[in-house]
Amino acid sequence: MTGRLLPLVALLTTISVHGQIAFGGQPYGMRPTEKTGLPPAPRVIMPTVDAAALMAEDAERAAQGIKGPYRFGFNHATDLSLDNSGIWHTMPNGDRVWRLAIVCPNAFSINFEFNEYMVPEGARVFVYNAWNEVLGGFTAASNGGRPTMGVGQLAGDRITVEYVEPASVEGQGHLRIGQVTHAYRDVLGLAKGLGDSGSCNNNVICPVGDEWRDEIRSVAIIIVGGSGYCTGTLLNNCAEDGTPYFLTANHCTEGANVNNWVFRFNWESPVCEANQNGPTNQTVSGASLLENSGGSDVALLQLNSTPPSDYNVYYAGWDNSGAAPTSEVCIHHPSGDIKKISFNNDAAGEADWGSAATWHIPAWDDGTTEPGSSGSGLWNQDHRIIGQLFGGQASCSNNVNDYFGRFDVSWPLLESHLGSCGTTLDGWDPAGSTTYQYDALLQSINNVPPSLCNENTIDPTITIKNNG
């Protein structure tokens, strides 16, 4: 590989801030206390969670072939606001800082939802954990100006929420945390290593995915309702204008507020044979539900914000003709795992499954689907979406019978949004179609101590991906 070597400092800066579309900055709470004078953040401790009982419920659902959202957490209803919780402190420069620590005993990770999110100009919200991993800074632009916002996961059983309000906008902000999610599964892979899905699944970085590099970039894992996972796909439209239309399953939306969903792109292992963690910072918060129907188990969303250019996303093409495919591919996040790809080399057939018109996959030739794969796209041999996963019995141990809601049956609902330009549309790359063998993408930086202040040297492991 040729090109410039980025300074280590620049690479470290790249990963120091994570989260939904964020605008950087450093929270006061991560600076030395003797310099800030901040008092300790008061703690709110959530009730304990019976993880074994919840996992038993999950196993029963899986045995029934339910491919709905893959549950990883338990939702605690809360009412934590700037007025009734936390502590305020005024900095010498006039900034007012509010902080609150949230503890979920024995949780693998924590995420939460703001059911009130009003942040004035110049104010920012940060969330961080004991390992100095940061989400934020979030502003009014982080959720497309909506009054609520979901916040993605941070590892560990304690997080701190920090709101910084300049003196010029004192009292104008309103934040209320209405739900805190205790992850009883190690979905970030910190204790068990990554890979909760079956061993027959293929990491998308493997050679079998080489012909599908563009389509892989269109797929995101969704945090649904704070405590579950589904999968979905960015769709191209006839105007090819980058409107972030997003296809998933109707059953993933049941009882959920899509405005609080979190969409994580490019969560992939950087190596083929072993599961290694990929970037978790490329996320978008919230969406609007444009259309949904049980007749084909379809849901069309529009993300609240367009994925930034550095996410390097792709907008998938589609086929609404109803022509039977000769082979199929599914790109998905089984059991909330990193992104996988599955193949069927035979023709899918039409079938009614439950109340929905579907494409039937009798058996997968390579890979499978699992809970958490729900909503994932089905591509035909021409690299065009023809449906999204409804359900079925397929697993690594019984790799038969999956059903995908048919895109052609959904089309009367979708046409007013995606446009009228014939029966097929190819995918669209907002960055252009040219890639080069020396293009590189930072995947991860590991082995960095939580504090660098007392270290003479460090020996990080930096993983980059050949993007060409």
Nearest 5°: phi and psi at 99? -135, 145
- Specify whether 402 is catalytic: no
User: Which two three-digit tokens encode residue 359?
Assistant: 């494409």
Going through 58-206 in order, the beta strands assigned E by DSSP cover: 70-71, 73-81, 87-90, 96-103, 109-118, 124-129, 134-138, 149-155, 158-165, 174-183, 202-203
Nearest 5°: phi and psi at 387? 175, 180
Query: Residue 261 corresponds to which amino acid?
Result: W
User: Which member of 157, 214, 297, 319 is catalytic?
Assistant: 297
Cα–Cα distance measured from residue 201 to residue 339, given in angstroms and rounded to the nearest whole number:
9
User: Which member of 81, 142, 374, 444 is catalytic?
Assistant: 374
Cα–Cα distance measured from residue 214 to residue 223, given in angstroms and rounded to the nearest whole number:
23
Spatial strand order of the sheet with 73-81 comes to: 73-81, 174-183, 109-118, 149-155
- Specify whether 365 is catalytic: no
User: Which two three-digit tokens encode residue 392?
Assistant: 């079925």
Cα–Cα distance measured from residue 154 to residue 97, given in angstroms and rounded to the nearest whole number:
21
Nearest 5°: phi and psi at 169? -125, 30
* Cβ burial, residue 274 (10 Å; 0-12/13-18/19+): exposed
* Cβ burial, residue 199 (10 Å; 0-12/13-18/19+): exposed
Cα–Cα distance measured from residue 304 to residue 315, given in angstroms and rounded to the nearest whole number:
16
User: Which two three-digit tokens encode residue 411?
Assistant: 């089309």
**CA atoms within 13 Å, Cβ hemisphere of 100:** 18
- Specify whether 327 is catalytic: no
Q: Where are the alpha helices (DSSP H) in 84-224?
A: 213-216
**CA atoms within 13 Å, Cβ hemisphere of 3:** 11
User: Which member of 76, 251, 332, 333 is catalytic?
Assistant: 251
Residues serving a catalytic function are 251, 297, 374
